[in-house]
Copies of this chain bind each other. A is one copy, B any other.
Amino acid sequence: MKMKKNVQKAHCAVDYAFQRIGGKYKGRILWVLREGRLRYGELSRAVVGITPKMLTQTLKELEADQLITRKAYFEVPPKVEYSLTDTGMELIPFISQMRSWGEKQMSTN
């Protein structure tokens, strides 16, 4: 697996952080993984509206960025579980904060 960073050339730490969890689905995926591992199919149901292509692609980016871990079980039928790394878990409090802010905004608008 490639381990390249999905961060181009950050002008500052804010820039860097936003590049790392930017994209349309990264925040939501990290968020639904907050309570434990989920299988691919569970993720695709939890992240409403995501296509298999985008799910797979985003999961790969998050893995390359070491925010999540992929664990494949060699069984039939196939089974793959995704979970947060320690670094990924460190983001949950912030995302939680963002979520509270978002909830408040959505209700007052």
Contacts and interface: CB of A to CB of B under 8 A. Distances in A.
A98 B17 contact: yes
A20 B99 contact: no
A90 B98 contact: no
Interface residues of A, number: 35
17 contacts: A5-B109, A10-B102, A12-B28, A13-B99, A13-B100, A14-B31, A14-B98, A14-B99, A15-B102, A16-B102, A17-B102, A18-B98, A22-B22, A90-B101, A91-B101, A94-B98, A94-B101
Given A18-B27, A22-B22, A27-B18, A13 B94 contact: no
Interface string A10-37: 1111111110111000011001000000
